[in-house]
Amino acid sequence: MKLPLVFYGDPGLRQQAEPVTVFDDKLLALSRDMVETMHAEAGIGLAGPQIGVPRRIFVMEIPPEMDEDETGARLNPDLNGPLVVVNPELLELSKNKEEMEEGCLSIPDIRGKVRRPVSVTLRFQDVEGRQREMRLQDLAARCAQHETDHLDGILFVDLLSQVKRVAIKGKLRKLKEQTLQS
């Protein structure tokens, strides 16, 4: 089932999400709905707070063609299909950082460059509660950071340059008004 999205201006996007402690059929069903919603919205990641669920869970899926180096080799060969990430921790963030344009399903029509570490280790639990760890590169690493930020009430627009933040101020204010009216 596709779930309705929560948009910029909704206070739920600014909350600290709570850890997941129960790994049951309800969590499995939620993760499936989140994947379906991510696909329907053509996103590469979706976090709990974006569908009004204040829990530490996100889903991500990087299309293979967006996960290749210059030679066409996969950057993250372990990533196949959608990944369900519960209670994530980001470790060993690389000193090497890169700036890249980001967007967010909760902040339509706004994009901007964010500087982030190029690689990270993602430690998390899968939907059955098993501990897992993955080293991620490039877009996958960026996506995992963007989604983990959602669980801490942080949005990519907070991380833009001062100049860019001033430039989009009006758009954000309009979006917030729309959200609060709906």
- Answer yes or no whether residue 104 interacts with Zn ion by CB under 5 A: yes
Query: Could you tell me the smallest distance in angstroms from the CB atom of residue 146 to Zn ion?
Result: 6
Query: Could you tell me the smallest distance in angstroms from the CB atom of residue 23 to Zn ion?
Result: 24
- CB under 5 A: which stretch of 2-10, 89-97, 104-112, 157-165 binds Zn ion? 104-112
DSSP class of residue 182? Answer: -
**Which of 56, 57, 43 minimizes the C-alpha distance to 139?**
43
φ, ψ (nearest 5 deg) of residue 31: -65, -40
- CB under 5 A: which stretch of 55-63, 103-111, 119-127, 162-170 binds Zn ion? 103-111
Total Cβ atoms within 10 A of residue 109: 8
The nearer residue to Zn ion, 100 or 130, going by C-beta atoms, is 100
Which is catalytic among the residues 65, 101, 147, 177? 147
Is 147 considered catalytic here? yes
- CB under 5 A: which stretch of 97-105, 116-124, 133-141, 164-172 binds Zn ion? 97-105
Sign for the pseudo-dihedral over CA of 152, 153, 155, 157: negative
Q: How many residues does the chain have?
A: 182
Query: Could you tell me the smallest distance in angstroms from the CB atom of residue 71 to Zn ion?
Result: 30
Query: Could you tell me the smallest distance in angstroms from the CB atom of residue 32 to Zn ion?
Result: 20
CA distance 162 to 160: 6
With vertex at residue 58, the alpha carbon angle to CA 69 and CA 165, rounded to the nearest 5 degrees, is 75
- Answer yes or no whether residue 53 interacts with Zn ion by CB under 5 A: no
Binding site for Zn ion (CB under 5 A): 104
